[in-house]
Amino acid sequence: MLVYIDGEFVPRSQAKVSVFDHGLLYGDGVFEGIRSYNGVVFRLIEHIDRLYDSAKTIMLDIPITKQEMVNVVLETLRKNKLKDAYIRLVVTRGVGDLGLDPRKCSKPSIIVIAQPMEPLLGKEVKEKGVRLVISSVRRDRVDATTHQAKTLNYLNSILAKVDAINAGVDDAILLDERGFVSEASAANLFIVKSDVIATPPQTAGILPGITRATVIELAKKIGYSVEERDITPHELLTADEVFLTGTAAEIVPVVEVNRRKIGDGKLGPVTRRLIEEFEKIKGDPAYGVKV
Ligand SMILES: Cc1ncc(COP(=O)(O)O)c(C=O)c1O
């Protein structure tokens, strides 16, 4: 495996950053998780746009252009001869001193890792679904370390994941500071009630997911109404169907929340239809950039 770091491709064993990098010391940086399907990088332009937006919010100047970044991602896939891959793109604040001041970090580091990857949770999970709990940890506020920006500060999600592990389930849902549903640790959430689909808005502190946007687009195209609105825990527990979306997990049915069965506890018809529609488009060059 060859990893891209700051203009060079190096073997995995030599892919290292400094212990003085503020990405390590303070979680100071931004990242993206991207997938390629059969030689097409799914929604690459949208991922690159989101990366630069995240960087803007934390005032990190990425030292290459968006087009150069696109080329770096494609070149990493070519060098590793990968068609179906998970790509991790990271931009750290760079090497500084032990203080917080980002002005001491003269040059951000750009890292691209690409590895072969099947759907994270496997085909089985798409049928069987996942079990979730509502975490005791609230999603970071939109006026604090908001997850609207995809930064290297993921402790908020990790603490929710720890809650899920301790409860013996697959993942956790975070509520926002008002008590409305936000999202899962690293995936967006949808509910279905009487054939109407709803998902929390950005004001609930979610990452504006690229799979989420694609699912909204597909659902509208096949005739469903989709509402972006606040969702209460009660609505979540009493929905006909609940599902998660994300680059790594794609679309995954949720069959249980806090020990309440969702619907009849099986993959529901709306989720099934959306999984089928997503399967049709995920390797389509119209939805991505060809390697
Ligand atoms: C916190 C969070 N929410 C949602 C998502 C899903 O976003 P996307 O569909 O762009 O992968 C992710 C994915 O990495 C995430 O980390």
Domains and CATH numbers, the chain: 2-116 (3.30.470.10), 122-281 (3.20.10.10)
Atom of ligand 1 nearest to the CA of 213: 9
pTM to 2 decimal places: 0.97
| Active-site choice (150, 193, 220, 266) | 150
Mean pLDDT of 253-257: 98
> What integer pLDDT is reported at residue 122 of this predicted model?
55
Mean pLDDT of 248-253: 94
Q: According to DSSP H, which parts of 102-250 are helical?
A: 122-128, 155-167, 210-221, 233-237
Q: Is the pLDDT of residue 85 over 90?
A: yes
> What integer pLDDT is reported at residue 117 of this predicted model?
83
> What integer pLDDT is reported at residue 279 of this predicted model?
95
Instruction: Tell me the per-residue pLDDT of 158-199, one tens digit each, with 9 for 90 and over.
Output: 999 999 999 999 999 999 999 999 999 999 999 999 999 999
Please tell me the distance between residue 186's alpha carbon and the centre of ligand 1 in angstroms: 5
The span from the CA of 118 to the CA of 120, in Å, is 6
The answer to whether the CB of 157 is under 6 A from ligand 1 is yes
Mean pLDDT of 21-43: 97
Please tell me the distance between residue 43's alpha carbon and the centre of ligand 1 in angstroms: 13
Q: What is the mean pLDDT of the chain?
A: 96
Q: How confident is the model at residue 124 (pLDDT cuts 50, 70, 90)?
A: confident
Residue for token pair 């989101």:
50
Mean pLDDT of 26-47: 97
The span from the CA of 124 to the CA of 121, in Å, is 8
Of residues 24 and 124, more confidence is placed in: 24
91: region left, alpha or beta (phi > 0 left; psi from -120 to 50 alpha): beta
Instruction: Tell me the per-residue pLDDT of 125-134, one tens digit each, with 9 for 90 and over.
Output: 788 999 999 9
